[in-house]
Amino acid sequence: MSIPATVVTPPLADQLDIVIPTIRNLDFLEQWRPFFQPYHLIIVQDGDPSRTVRVPEGFDYELYNRNDINRILGPKSSCISFKDSACRCFGFLVSKKKYIFTIDDDCFVAKDPSGQEINALAQHIHNLLTPATPFFFNTLYDPYREGADFVRGYPFSLREGVTTAISHGLWLNIPDYDAPTQLVKPRERNTRYVDLVMTIPKQTLFPMCGMNLGFHRELIGPAMYFGLMGDGQPIGRYDDMWAGWCAKVICDHLSLGVKTGLPYIWHSKASNPFVNLKKEYKGIYWQEDIIPFFQNVTLPKECTTPQKCYIELSKLVKEKLGPIDPYFEKLSDAMVTWIDAWDELNPSTDSAAAATVKVEPSKPK
């Protein structure tokens, strides 16, 4: 094998963190090794902190369990969910990188129709580094993809696009259905490889799945709070949905783009639909009110940063969704706590005070 004269660096190797929430094990990383090894991992260990989660050899990582989360955030740790993959957003909080890729521990490498293994991370990076086009729909989808372009009639003034803040990937095999659909169609598998990436238009909401997701941490990180789910909460399996709705509204306001489509990963584990039904039950009813709420949100011009947008959103949540259930008041407070934690751990470069909290994982790199 010929060795290149200069070392070929994987794209964004020093600017991207991979955040993985896990309550089981990280065996799946073996299959991803060729694609993930050059990158730094942030493992968020959910559940019993006394368990040791083994990380396969050769990966550069930091691992946080619940004790670490409590220690680092102190009283603010109340905003981080327990016994739910929503805890992954702690990883977003403590990362120091510009980009995040997050993936679930039951997601494996998929193959495209030609049999080639898909480097999902590379595709996310391409999505994030090319502009998005939310203001006018391109019928040939992402015009920045090789072999595609803007079609006739696409206004030239809009062809520069906007910065892509979120790259939402999809899944082959076990589809991300809700519990009722899972119960009705337990055998359905997603076998259709749809070879497209597209921008979700402005003012259009979508159900964001956290299984295979990349985003620009500096531009939209503060909005990627995965809410209060799991233990002690009346709802589950709506963490990524909540983050997606908040983030989309804020992206629309700040003229940032959200892409969906490629890459595909292979989703291997079908969760128990009866357990899911119990978790989602309230969400199924609440989302009927939540969706119109997000569809009608307008953020004031003065909200020029994702943090300001998010704080404003938290006020609206308390005001408009609070009457539905006291959960939303708690959630609104948690949203504020999250931003406090974010600002504390990610002080802006022009602020005089340095970070007062030293972030140290329990397992050294």
Partner 1 sequence: MSNRCPPSLLSLAIDATLYNFHNISSDLSFLPEHILIDLFLRTLKAGKLTPRILKLFLATGKEEILSMIQALNIQLVLTPVLPTTSVKDNEVDIVIGAFRSDLTSFMEEWRPIFSRFHIIVVKDPDLKELKIPEGFDVRVYTESDIVKVVGSSKASLFSGYSSRYFGYLVSNRKYIISIDDDCSPAKTQNGELVDIVAQHLNNLKTPATPFFFNTLYDPYQKGSDFVRGYPFSLRSGVPCALSCGLWLNLADYDAPTQALKPDMRNTRYIDAVMTVPLKSMMPMSGVNIAFDRELVGPAMIPALKLAKEGKVRWETMEDVWCGLVVKTVCDHLKLGVKSGTPYVWRNEKGSAIDSLKKEWEGVKLMEDVLPFFETLRLSPLAVTAEECVVEIAAAVKERLGSAHTSTAETMVEWVKLWKAVRS
- Comparing CA positions, the residue from 111, 209, 115 lying closest to residue 169 is 209
Quote the CA–CA distance of 306 and 80 in Å, as a whole number.
19
Q: How far is the CB of 140 from partner 1 (least distance, A)?
A: 6
Query: Quick one: how far is CA 286 from the chain centroid?
Result: 22
> Taking the alpha carbons of 239, 241, 244, 246 in that order, is the dihedral positive or negative?
negative
**Which of residues 111 and 185 has its CB atom nearest to partner 1 in the complex?**
185
Q: How far is the CB of 241 from partner 1 (least distance, A)?
A: 4
Q: How far is the CB of 29 from partner 1 (least distance, A)?
A: 25
- Comparing CA positions, the residue from 101, 107, 109 lying closest to residue 214 is 101
Q: How far is the CB of 318 from partner 1 (least distance, A)?
A: 22
Side-chain half-sphere of 310: how many Cα atoms within 13 Å? Answer: 27
**Which of residues 92 and 242 has its CB atom nearest to partner 1 in the complex?**
242
Q: What contacts 118, CB < 8 A, 6 or more positions away? A: 109, 110, 111, 112, 263, 264, 265
Q: How far is the CB of 291 from partner 1 (least distance, A)?
A: 5
**Which of residues 94 and 211 has its CB atom nearest to partner 1 in the complex?**
211
Q: How far is the CB of 184 from partner 1 (least distance, A)?
A: 9
Tell me which residues touch partner 1 (CB under 8 A): 113, 136-141, 147-158, 168, 170, 175-178, 181, 185, 188, 190-196, 200-209, 237-238, 240-241, 244, 260, 280, 284, 287-288, 291
Q: 306-316 and 326-345 helices cross at what angle (nearest 10)? A: 160
Q: How far is the CB of 17 from partner 1 (least distance, A)?
A: 24
In the chain, alpha helices (H): 29-36, 66-73, 89-94, 120-129, 179-184, 217-220, 239-253, 273-295, 306-316, 326-345
**Which of residues 14 and 188 has its CB atom nearest to partner 1 in the complex?**
188
**Which of residues 91 and 261 has its CB atom nearest to partner 1 in the complex?**
261
**Which of residues 67 and 204 has its CB atom nearest to partner 1 in the complex?**
204
In 99-210, alpha helices (H): 120-129, 179-184
List, in sequence order, every residue forming a beta bridge with 190; answer none if it has no partner. Answer: 173
List, in sequence order, every residue forming a beta bridge with 267; answer none if it has no partner. Answer: 107, 173
**Which of residues 145 and 217 has its CB atom nearest to partner 1 in the complex?**
145
Q: And the tokens for 232?
A: 């002690």
